[in-house]
Amino acid sequence: MTLLAVERIKFFSTRSPWWCMALALALVVGFGALMAGTSNDIDSVNVPSTQFGFTFGMAVILVLAALAITTEYRFNTIKTTFQAVPNRTSALLAKTTLVALVTGVLGELAAFGAWGMAKLLRPGADLAINSAADWRNVAGTGLVTGLAAVVAIAVGTLIRHTAGAVSVLLAYSLMVEKLIQLIPTAGPKIYQWMPFNVANRFLTGNPDLSPELAGGGPSMSTSTLDPWWALAYFAAFAIVMLTIAVSVAKRRDA
């Protein structure tokens, strides 16, 4: 608990996390309101469409999580942290836990905020959350953003430089996975197992959810996993990345 308290103080004592959290909320809620308010067809305003801003919010959350660790390397405060806590594993796990919890809550607030704004603007639309798919699409966002933050912490620990870590995270999550599909023959099969594609399977995967209904929210996934197995796969990927990052951090100079 002491380490978590220390990480909480460090995290909230700088401006960048606050700006990132505000931006993530504004993007997700704002795009949800925009989609609902500007739609000419009330039938197109549904639960998945309220999550149109998910991809933009996820990008900001990845940046937020990466900054939580790379700024320590940038300003050399990581040395002080490791001197105060010689067990580097404990220090890094405390930071990861704190950031994952914060981004998980942030994801929930953004998702339900977007849904609430859409319901406020279009009270006549079918926005009832009355199926497992609807609950995963909205409430499941916090689980995905929390795990994505763990991945970002791992990448930031490995690269240590803010620009490099942010570039890798954004390029990979927004472009690289999709470009893999261009590989002849094997590309689409490989893409089925790419982590962020699989994470989208948890949010949007349902036999009854057509691409038309899901078109406004997170990208439809090509993964063949059951939604909850997809979440487990993404969690395993995050844990493996964090394990590698902690192992590397323990062996090299701060």
Q: pLDDT for 166-185, tens place per residue?
A: 999 999 999 999 999 999 98
Phi, psi (rounded to 5 degrees) for 18? -65, -45
pLDDT in tens, 61-80: 999 999 999 999 998 888 88
Residue 76: φ, ψ to 5°: 60, 15
DSSP-derived secondary structure letter, 221: P
Give how many domains the chain has, as a whole number: 1
Kindly give the interhelix angle for 227-251 and 141-159, rounded to the nearest 10 degrees: 20
Total Cβ atoms within 10 A of residue 232: 14
The DSSP annotation for 128-145 comes to: ---SHHHHHHHTTHHHHH
State which residues form the domain around 134: 2-251
pLDDT band for position 223 (cuts 50, 70, 90): confident
Quote the pLDDT of residue 195. 95
Mean pLDDT, to the nearest integer, of 195-214? 72
Q: Which of 168, 173, 150, 152 is nearest to 236 (CA)?
A: 150
Distance CA 130, CA 132 (A): 7
- DSSP type of residue 49: G
| Residue with tokens 């970002």, as numbered in its chain | 152
Q: What is the mean pLDDT of the chain?
A: 90
**What's the CA gap between 64 and 9, in Å, rounded?**
16
